[in-house]
């Protein structure tokens, strides 16, 4: 059992931390910790990719229908693909992925949780 205030609650499963009647999964290494969520490590940005093909800049829209090499198109411009463990959140910003089971809300990840019952005096 775990004491909180004047009540006792069932202990949480390993890897979870209790707050009143709920148990929240712990944040992974590198993530900041709040009660119900984990703040993500820093995002990073890429510079814009210039439209090069065969050593020359592609000037017409027709010539720019795809991106060269390992890059992706956003808003009609090419950017390098994000590193493993990151995903694109617009143009040239790569945001860390949330761990499996966590819900991404942009700057953080909502923790999985479960109800552990009403506290007893």
Phi, psi of 33 (to 5 degrees): -115, 125
Q: Which residues pair with 25 in a beta bridge?
A: 16
| Average pLDDT of the segment spanning 59-78 | 67
Query: Does the predicted model carry a pTM greater than 0.85?
Result: no
How do residues 33-57 score in pLDDT, each as one tens digit? 999 999 999 999 876 655 555 555 5
């Amino acid at each position: 059992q775990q004491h909180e205030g004047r009540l006792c609650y069932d202990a949480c499963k390993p890897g979870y931390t209790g707050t009143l009647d709920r148990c929240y999964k712990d944040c992974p290494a590198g993530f900041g910790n709040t009660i119900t969520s984990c703040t993500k490590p820093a995002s990073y940005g890429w510079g814009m990719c210039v439209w090069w093909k065969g050593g020359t800049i592609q000037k017409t829209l027709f010539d720019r229908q795809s991106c060269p090499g390992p890059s992706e198109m956003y808003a009609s411009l090419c950017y390098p693909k994000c590193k493993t463990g990151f995903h694109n959140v617009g143009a040239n910003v790569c945001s860390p992925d949330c761990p499996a089971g966590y819900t991404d809300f942009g700057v953080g990840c909502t923790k999985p949780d479960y109800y552990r019952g009403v506290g007893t005096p």
